[in-house]
Amino acid sequence: MELSTWIQLMIGIPLLGFLVSLTVPERKETWLSRVAFYTAGTNLMGTLVFLVFWILEGGNDLNLKEILLFKNEHFEFLIDFFFDRVSAVYLIVGAMLTFLITFYSRYYLHREPGYKRFFNTVLFFYLGFNLTILAGNFETLFIGWEVLGLSSFLLVAFYRKNLLPSRNAIKVFSIYRIGDVGLILAMWASHHLWHANVTFLDLTDAQRVVDQQLGHSGIALFIGLMLLLAAAAKSAQFPFSSWLPRAMEGPTPSSAIFYGSLSVHLGVFLLLRTYPFWENQLLVRILIGTVGLITAVVSTTIARVQTSVKTQIGYASLTQIGIMFIEVAAGLELLALVHFAGNAFLRTYQLLVSPSVVSYLIREQFYGFVPKEKKDRSTWKNRLYLSVYVWSLKEWNLDRLIQGLVFRPLKNLGHNLDFLRYRTLLFYFIPSYAIGVYLLVEGYVLPTWLHQILPAGFAFLALMMVLKSFTERRSIRLAWTLLWMNHFWMVLAIAENENFALTEIGIYLSGVVFFGTLGWGLIHWMTQRHGDLGLYGYQGYVRQHPLVAFLFLLAVLGLIGFPISPTFIGEDLLFSHIHEDQFVLATLAALAFVMEGVAAIRIYARLFFGTVPDGTLPDLQTSIPKKLA
C-alpha cells in the first residue's frame, strides 16, 4: 500500500466513525462508545503502521495533492496534504490521547444526558484535528481549523441547559474568531506574495522563500504577524489567555483533550508548520518569543492562586506553551516537539484524575490542616508580593482588556446603528443596492476617486449590518436578515473593485441563498408556534425542538461559510480579487466574515440554549428591560 493511501485513511477513518456515530440511537450507549473506541483504536494502529513504513523509507517529506475543487485563470482552490516529522509527532500524540479519552469517557459519562452528543463531537473534533495536522496548504488547514472551533464551542456548551456554559461557549468561540481574522488575512496576503496557491512543501525551499521575500518585505512581515495573531488566539497566549478558564465548563474528558493536550497546542503547530517562512524575519521571532515569555510569567502567577483544580492545570499548561513559543522562536523545533508531547500527556493525566485529587485535598483539609504563621506585611517585598497576588486573583484583567479593546468598541458601534430597521432597509438600502447593481451591469464608468473608495465603502456597509445583527435584541428576524444581506453588499464591493465573474458570484451566493432561506424558514416556523422571538436571554428551545435546533445549526454554519457550503470556496475567491495594497478592504471583509460567525452562533445559542423553567415557554415580555419595553 502506498504511503499516500495511508494519509487518506487517517482522514477517512475518523470521518467514517463520525458519520456512523450519527446513525446510532441515543439509548444505545454501548454501541456509541464502541464506535468511538474502535474508530480511535483503528486510527491509532494505522498511524503506528504508517510511521514504521515512513521511517523505513527514509522519513522524507510527503506532499499529496488530492482534490481540485475550483480553478480559473487566476485562482486555484486545492485540497492538499503534507506529512513531515512535525505531523508525525502531533499525529501519534493525537491518536493515543483520543484513544485514551474515548476509553475513559465510555464509563465517566455513563447515563449522562448528551452521551451521544459527546461522542459525536469528540469524533468530529478528531476529524478536524487530523485535517489540520495533515494539511498541505492554508486552505486545507483552515477547513480543519474551523472544524476544531465548532467542536470546541459544542463541547464547552455541553451542559447547554445551564446559563454559564452557554455564555462561556460564545466567549471561547469569539476569541477563536479573532484568530480566524489573522489566518484569513495571512491566506489573502500569501496569495499575492506567491501569486499561486502555495503549499507547505514550497515553504521548505529556503532559497525560493528568501528570493520571494526580498522584494516584498512588507507583505511578508504582515503574513508573519497575522500567523502570530492566529497562533496566539488558538493557544490562549497573551493577551488572549482569559478564554481558557471559560472553556473548562465542559466535561472533564473534553477539557483534557481540548485544553490540556491537543487543541490548545495547535498555535505551536501553526508556528512550526510555517517556521521556514518567517525564520529570517527577526522582528517576528522577537515578538513570538516575547508573547511566549509574557504568557509564561503571567500564567504562572495566575495558576498559583486559582481555587479550581482544572483552572490551575489549564494555566500551568499555558505556561509550558508559552515556553514552547520561545523554543519555536529560537529555532529549537525538536525541543518544542518533545516538550509538546510531554506536556500533552501530563496535562491529560492531571485533568482526568482531578476529581480524585479534589476529594483527597478536601479530606486533607479536614484532617491535616495546619494554619500558616502570621507574617509582617510591612516590607516592600511583602507589599510587592501582595500586589502580584491580587493581580493574579483578577487574572491580570485580561478578560477586561480583550473586551475593552475588541468587543466593546464593536458593540458600541452596533448599538449606535439602531436606524438599521426593516423600514430603513426597504426604503434606503435595497434601492441603493439595486442602483449599484444596475450601474455595474450597464458598465457605467465612475470617476476614478469614487471608484477607489466605493469597494471599501460597500464593505463597511456590510460590516455595519453584521455589527447591528451582533447587538440586535428585539427581533431575531431582523438579526438574521442583516447577516443575510451583508453577503450581497460584500459581493457588490468586490465586483466594484475588480471583475468578479458570474460563475464566482454563483459559487459564493449559492450557499448564502440556500442556507439563508433555510434559517429564515426555521425562524418563521418557530415564530408561528411561540410568538415573536427576541434575543434578550437564553430560551432553551432545544428541549422542545431538537431537530429544528440541529437544522438551524446547519443553516448558521452554511451562512457563515463553514466547509459544508460553497460559500467557503466563494470567500476565498472573493479575497483573491482584493489587491495586495488594499489592506483596508481586506481587513473590513475579514472582520465582516468573522463577526458574522460570532453573531450567527449567538443567535443559535440564545434561541436554543438555556433552561425553560418547568417546561414552560419563556415570558418574553418580562425578560425585556424596562428601558427597551
Give the pLDDT score at 195: 76
What's the average model confidence in pLDDT over 528-536? 83
pLDDT digits (tens, 9 = 90+) for 95-131: 999 999 998 888 888 877 888 888 999 999 999 999 9
* Rounded distance between C-alpha atoms, residue 319 and residue 307, angstroms: 18
Residue 271 has pLDDT above 60, yes or no: yes
Span 300-324, pLDDT tens digits: 999 888 877 888 888 889 999 999 9
**Over the stretch 237-260, which tens digit does the pLDDT of each residue have?**
988 888 887 788 778 888 888 777
The DSSP annotation for 455-473 comes to HHHHHHHHHHHHHHHHH--
The answer to whether the bond into 239 is cis (omega within 30° of 0) is yes
Average pLDDT over residues 556-581: 86
pLDDT at 190 over 70: yes
Task: Classify burial at 617, counting beta carbons within 10 Å of its beta carbon; exposed 0-12, middle 13-18, buried 19 or more.
Answer: middle
Phi, psi of 81 (to 5 degrees): -120, 145
Average pLDDT over residues 45-72: 84
Q: How confident is the model at residue 616 (pLDDT cuts 50, 70, 90)?
A: very low
Compute the average pLDDT of residues 9-34: 89
Select from 457, 363, 459, 470 the least CA-distant residue to 407.
470
Helix axes 163-194, 583-608, angle to 10 degrees: 160
Q: What is the mean pLDDT of the chain?
A: 84
Provide CB contacts within 8 A for 379, sequence distance 6+.
Answer: none
The model's pLDDT over 383-438, given as tens digits with 9 standing for 90+, comes to 788 788 888 888 888 888 888 888 888 888 888 888 888 788 777 778 877 877 77
**What does the pLDDT read at residue 133?**
93
Is residue 518 exposed (0-12), middle (13-18) or buried (19+ Cβ within 10 Å)?
middle
Q: What is the pLDDT of residue 166?
A: 86
Greater confidence (373 vs 428) lies with 428
What's CA 334's distance to the chain center, in Å? 27
Q: Check if the beta carbon of residue 523 is closer than 8 Å to that of residue 479.
A: no
Q: What is the mean pLDDT of residues 35-49?
A: 91
CA-to-CA distance for 596 and 588, rounded, in angstroms? 12
Rounded mean pLDDT, 488-513: 85
Give the DSSP H or E segment for 249: none
Check pLDDT > 60 for residue 629.
no
What pLDDT does residue 624 have?
41
pLDDT digits (tens, 9 = 90+) for 131-180: 999 998 888 999 999 999 899 888 888 888 888 888 888 888 888 888 88
Residue 360 has pLDDT above 70, yes or no: no
Q: What is the pLDDT of residue 617?
A: 46
Residue 406's contacts (CB-CB under 8 Å, 6 or more residues apart) are 178
Would you report the helix, strand and coil content of the chain in percent, each value rounded to 5?
75, 5, 20
373 secondary structure, DSSP code: P
Check whether 547 has a pLDDT greater than 80.
Answer: yes
Least confident piece of the model among 224-228, 373-377, 400-404: 373-377
316's grid cell? 500551568
| pLDDT given at position 112 | 79
The answer to whether 326 and 289 are in contact (CB under 8 A) is yes
Rounded CA-CA distance 322/240 in Å is 12
pLDDT band (50, 70, 90) for residue 614:
very low
- Tell me what pLDDT residue 339 has: 94
Predicted confidence at residue 628, as pLDDT, reads: 35
The values of phi and psi at residue 499, to 5°, are: -60, 115
What's the pTM value of the predicted model, to 2 decimals? 0.90
Residue 215 pLDDT exceeds 80: no
Q: What are phi and psi of 64, to 5 degrees?
A: -130, 115
pLDDT of residue 615: 45
Reported as half-sphere exposure (CB side, CA atoms, 13 A), residue 562 has a value of 21
Burial zone of 31 (CB within 10 Å; 0-12 exposed, 13-18 middle, 19+ buried): middle
Residue-level pLDDT at 619: 43
Distance CA 517, CA 290 (A): 47
Amino acid at 386: L
The domains of the chain are located at: 3-361, 417-623
pLDDT of residue 521: 94
> What confidence score (pLDDT) does residue 332 get?
93
Section 478-485 average pLDDT: 91
Is a pLDDT exceeding 90 seen at residue 365? no
